[in-house]
Amino acid sequence: MFERFTKDARSAVVDAQLVAREAHSDQIDTRHVLVALAERPGPARTALSDGGVDVAALVAEARAKIEAGDALDPAALAAVGIDLDEVTRRTEATFGEGALARAGRALRGRRKHIPFTADAKKSLELALREAIRLGSKEINGGHLLLGMTRAESPARRILSDAGADLDRIRHLAEGTSEAA
């Protein structure tokens, strides 16, 4: 499938890996791809901008959510007898403030290849389906955006939380996809 990607779409996938590395992420999800698409000129950023999305604010929010990571759920851990606050307190008392965060970053930094999450893989598959539906022989950034907005994903939630009109953005991405 990757051979059908345009230069724009390939760059977005490569840039998503860079976003993940910068954030010390364990995996690449649709938020990373959304940031990559929104930060560079192309059909996806055009659709977002023309759809009324404040692209700079969207990127900042997505990066903040990526940086925050998928925090442990203290209530779920408490249900099995683990007090996360106490674990953190004892760890920091022994190894210094921020020891758990530093350890997590160090472990994540050792990985050479960052895998895609299931939702990111699904959005790439949906991008192919969108390209076929639109009669395109190639997959561009607009198709990637369509794939991410077609099914529930972290990127779709960020767009919704930002007040984006997903139907309008999809319509605009379809138009730029066909024109590209």
pLDDT in tens, 6-41: 999 999 999 999 999 999 888 999 999 999 999 999
Q: Is residue 173 domain-shared with residue 84, that is, in the same domain?
A: no
Domain match, 10 and 24 both: yes
pTM to 2 decimal places: 0.77
Q: What residue type is 160 in one-letter code?
A: S
Range of the structural domain that residue 84 is part of: 74-109
Residue with tokens 């389906």: 129
Place of tokens 């860079």: 18
Count of domains forming the chain = 2
Sign of CA dihedral 138, 141, 12, 145: negative
- The residues of the chain scoring below 50 in pLDDT are 178-180
Same domain, 166 and 79: no
CA distance linking residue 176 with residue 9, whole number of Å: 13
Residue-level pLDDT at 180: 42
Q: Is there a single domain that holds both residue 38 and residue 79?
A: no
